Amino acid sequence: MNAHEIIAAYQRAGQGQVFAFWERLDSASRADLLAQAAEIELAEIESLHRTLGVGGGAAALRLNELQPAPCTRLPGRGGNVTAWNRARAAGEAALRGGHVAAFTVAGGQGTRLGFDGPKGTFAITPVRGKSLFQVFAEKIAAAGRHYGRPLHWFILTSHANHEQTANYFSAHRFFNLDRNRVHFLRQGRMPAVDFSGKILLETIGGIALNPDGHGGSLRALHRSGALDLLKSEGVDTLSYFQVDNPLVRCIDPAFLGFHLLGDSEMSSKMVPKVYPEEKVGLFCLGAGQLGVVEYSDMPPAMQRETTLDGRLRFDAGNIAVHILAREFARRMATGGDGAALSFHRADKKISGVDAAGRPVEPERPNGIKFEMFVFDALSFARNPQLVETSRADEFSPVKNAEGVDSPRTAREDQLRQFARWFRAAGVGIETDATGLPSLPIEVSPLFGYDEPTFLEAWNKLSPPPVVSTGMYLE
Ligand code: UTP
């Protein structure tokens, strides 16, 4: 469409205010504004406007119909050891066959951390200060080496951090990964609207646009051609995780195996909630479908319900680690069989310009942002599998600058994990009552990325080194 047609389409849709300052813009700014305007699907905004109270997946379920989600428990917590072994073998076979790729969502704004740069470049390991991206790169490299098939790695970026992310990888020579196997996908954007559905301007020549949520990752996989690339490479399974969790097992054969043996299109990991009011989304069944209910949507009495054995009835916390079948991602992205993620609304303070073009810094929410959540896809998936994992081994997100889920807690949780591995190898390490070692130590994922691989590598060291302050094993 040319400029005239785009402007006319906006006027017909009642969104002519987007071009209110057209006469004041130079030609470069006009081109930028047109490019932004062309990115937006006006029909989508119109339908969101009509249904502003949108929710998606489980959020739309009736609370009184919710049931706890069935889950494969860890061995030692009721899980069947034979089933875990079978699953691990199936996952390992898929990895040896080269059928798995890694997928990190890193398009978020990271407002709570307040770090100036893409969150993945944040230094997080306790001794070497490796970045989150380096930790994942080394885990993915180690898995590729272990199974004899290097993996493709897809990283979801946003318009705001795409260049910086790609430059960061170039500057660090892709952490020795094959650069042809590391792919950056820019996610889509959604405009913010005011409470009457009018698209807001950030400047006189720019629309207030935000990333479309981690659910936008599915559209981005399709639009970027990533799904076609995967198909041509014989990869049918994606291991999905967030950029903020240094403990994550980027590639977990047992989890992959449960997904594959269960003939599932999407599977998720859960950790039991620690206390009833913990702020974590909960996997639940509603009308027979698996979904995630936000903690804020579940009444406190329901959060506190217990079973006869004293466990919380709704205890399956979402840690945002999923497996996606490639063709399921395509179906979700293209709307095949009516599958589509809904947008969620969030009322926010949106800085911008008023009708006269003057800057506005609102003191209370003045508009709505729209995001899709990837976990809403579960309710469209065939045979979704929910698998328990251990929080200590796999979940310590960096969300806030201080306090809970901060760089400090994530570094301490890594130290506790390294100390457990050393202890399992028979090395006496002094710790406090929480398992935190008194010496800073660090294990590179290239040495060992979980307890079994650590023990395998440690037992080959002869003689084993003396553990000392600042020790780094590579
Ligand atoms: P969060 O919900 O923690 O949001 O994202 P955030 O934007 O990173 O941080 P805050 O809320 O502004 O402090 C969870 C994961 O989803 C990714 C993030 O990068 C993170 O890995 N994400 C989130 C996207 O990739 N795109 C989005 O639009 C939103």
| pLDDT tens per residue, range 123-170 | 999 999 999 999 999 999 999 999 999 999 999 999 999 999 999 999
- Sign, CA torsion 417/422/426/431: negative
185 lines ligand 1 (CB under 6 A): no
Q: What is the model's pLDDT at position 61?
A: 60
Q: What are the pLDDT digits (tens) for 346-393?
A: 999 999 999 999 999 999 999 999 999 999 999 999 999 999 999 999
pLDDT band at residue 117, thresholds of 50, 70 and 90? very high
106 lines ligand 1 (CB under 6 A): yes
Q: Which residue has the tokens 């305007």?
A: 37
Query: Strands 359-360 and 352-353: what pairing?
Result: antiparallel
Q: Are 144 and 449 in contact (CB under 8 A)?
A: no
Name the residue with the closest Cα to ligand 1, atom 22.
108
pLDDT band at residue 54, thresholds of 50, 70 and 90? very low
Name the residue with the closest Cα to ligand 1, atom 17.
108
What's the rounded mean pLDDT across residues 442-461?
Answer: 95
Q: What is the DSSP string of 98-121?
A: T-EEEEEE-----TTTT-SS-GGG
Find, among 30, 35, 32, 37, the residue nearest to 15 by Cα: 37
132 lines ligand 1 (CB under 6 A): no
434 lines ligand 1 (CB under 6 A): no
Kindly give the distance from the C-alpha atom of residue 133 to the centroid of ligand 1, in angstroms, as a whole number.
Answer: 15
Kindly give the distance from the C-alpha atom of residue 321 to the centroid of ligand 1, in angstroms, as a whole number.
Answer: 14
pTM: 0.95
CB atoms within 10 A of CB 280: 19
Backbone angles phi, psi at 375, to 5 degrees: -70, -15
pLDDT band at residue 59, thresholds of 50, 70 and 90? very low
Kindly give the distance from the C-alpha atom of residue 400 to the centroid of ligand 1, in angstroms, as a whole number.
Answer: 12
Q: What is the DSSP string of 185-196?
A: EEPPEEE-B-TT
Nearest-10 Cα torsion for 38, 43, 45, 48: -160
Q: What are the pLDDT digits (tens) for 71-101?
A: 999 998 999 999 999 999 999 999 999 999 9
pLDDT band at residue 172, thresholds of 50, 70 and 90? very high
149 lines ligand 1 (CB under 6 A): no
156 lines ligand 1 (CB under 6 A): yes
- Sign, CA torsion 389/109/239/216: positive
Mind listing the domains of the chain with CATH numbers? 61-405 (3.90.550.10), 406-474 (no CATH)
Q: Are 184 and 166 in contact (CB under 8 A)?
A: yes
Q: What is the model's pLDDT at position 65?
A: 87
Kindly give the distance from the C-alpha atom of residue 456 to the centroid of ligand 1, in angstroms, as a whole number.
Answer: 35
372 lines ligand 1 (CB under 6 A): no
Q: What is the model's pLDDT at position 52?
A: 57
Q: What are the Cα distances from residue 131, in Å, to 172, 249, 392, 414?
A: 11, 16, 20, 13
> Would the pLDDT of 407 be above 50?
yes
Dist. CA 226–CA 150, nearest whole Å: 17
Please give the angle made by the CA atoms of 135, 120 and 93, to the nearest 5 degrees. 45
Q: What are the Cα distances from residue 272, in Å, to 73, 85, 249, 311?
A: 10, 22, 17, 9
Name the residue with the closest Cα to ligand 1, atom 16.
214
> Would the pLDDT of 55 be above 50?
no
pLDDT band at residue 58, thresholds of 50, 70 and 90? very low
User: What would the two tokens of residue 398 be?
Assistant: 């960096």
CA 384 to chain centre: 18
Summary mean pLDDT of the chain: 94
Dist. CA 168–CA 187, nearest whole Å: 18
> Would the pLDDT of 116 be above 90?
yes
What's the rounded mean pLDDT across residues 317-324?
Answer: 98
> Would the pLDDT of 60 be above 80?
no
Q: What are the pLDDT digits (tens) for 12-44?
A: 999 999 999 999 999 999 999 999 999 999 999
Dist. CA 305–CA 67, nearest whole Å: 12
Asked if the peptide bond before residue 253 counts as cis, ω within 30 degrees of 0, the response is: no
Name the residue with the closest Cα to ligand 1, atom 28.
213
> Would the pLDDT of 471 be above 90?
no
Kindly give the distance from the C-alpha atom of residue 250 to the centroid of ligand 1, in angstroms, as a whole number.
Answer: 17
